[in-house]
Amino acid sequence: MDILRDIARVFENYLRGVTLAILGYMTGASIVLSILGAPYGVLLGILFGAIYLIPFLGALTSLAILFLATGLSGKESIVGIAIASPWTAAAIVALIYAAFDRTYDMMVYPRVVGKSVGLNPIVSFFVVLSGGALFGLLGMILAFPLAGAVKVVLDRIIRVTTGPAEQVSLPALPLRHRITG
């Protein structure tokens, strides 16, 4: 039952990796929003990190909340640069935040979670895309732990089939057959 323990460890590592990725996203979003001068930048960064894992809807919800919060704040500048209207400033902030979100999704998340599960970053990227293409939202969520479990099984099969052959020890010669001198 070693293999089940290894698969359980993959799932534990997956949850650890996702938690680390979310904390990184919260930190990055808070920094980006604070630099851009979005109202309640740190609070919004934490909120956006909490809904980050909801594929597509999390990003759209974050952008909508950010656009409304920035537009309604009445700020007409971004990083000290004057903008014509608060809604134009809100659109620019939302676009910059969307670039951060996509970059994190494509570059950071697959590396962090893939490394925690033991997958190569390129394989991680492929796993998420194929999981989403084949099974939609559920496929994207389960892609990493399932790929990690498959990797454990394949590693075990490769180790057993390509490892050195076990030495067969012959039974000891019974005492009655030994010649004593």
DSSP-assigned letters across all residues of 59-79: HHHHHHHHHHHHHHHT--EET
Q: How far apart are CA 130 and CA 143, in angstroms?
A: 8
pLDDT tens readout for residues 95-116: 999 999 999 988 898 889 888 8
- Higher-pLDDT residue of 179 and 105 is 105
Phi, psi of 14 (to 5 degrees): -60, -50
pTM of the model: 0.78
pLDDT tens readout for residues 7-33: 889 889 999 999 999 999 999 999 999
pLDDT tens readout for residues 126-159: 888 888 889 887 888 888 889 989 998 998 888 8
pLDDT at 177 over 70: no
H helices present in 104-179, as ranges: 109-117, 121-162
pLDDT at 167 over 80: no
Instruction: Give the pLDDT of residue 121.
Output: 80
Give the chain's mean pLDDT: 87
